[in-house]
Structure 1
Amino acid sequence: MTHTWNVTVQLFDADDLVREGRLTTAHAVLTTSAGTTLEAHGEARRNPDDPPVPEIGEELATARALRDLADRLLAATSDDIAAFEHHPVHLDA
Structure 2
Amino acid sequence: MEAKQWTVQIYITESGDDTQARAVLSTGGTAESDSVIGRGIARRNPMDRPIPEIGDELAASRALEDLAIRLHDVAADDIVDLAGPVTR
Q: TM-score per shorter chain, which class?
A: 0.7 to 0.9
Aligned twin of 2:71: 73
Distance in 2 (alpha carbons) for counterparts of 1:55 and 1:43: 13
Q: Percent identity?
A: 42
Structure 2 gap segments, 5+ residues each: none
Structure 1 gap segments, 5+ residues each: 16-21, 88-93
The alignment's C-alpha RMSD in Å is 1.3
With structure 1 as the length reference, what TM-score do the two structures score? 0.82
Distance in 2 (alpha carbons) for counterparts of 1:86 and 1:14: 48
With structure 2 as the length reference, what TM-score do the two structures score? 0.86
Larger relative contact order (C-alpha < 8 A, sep ≥ 6)? 2
Aligned pair count reads 81
Does 1:41 pair with 2:39? yes
Secondary structure of the residue aligned to 1:28 is: strand
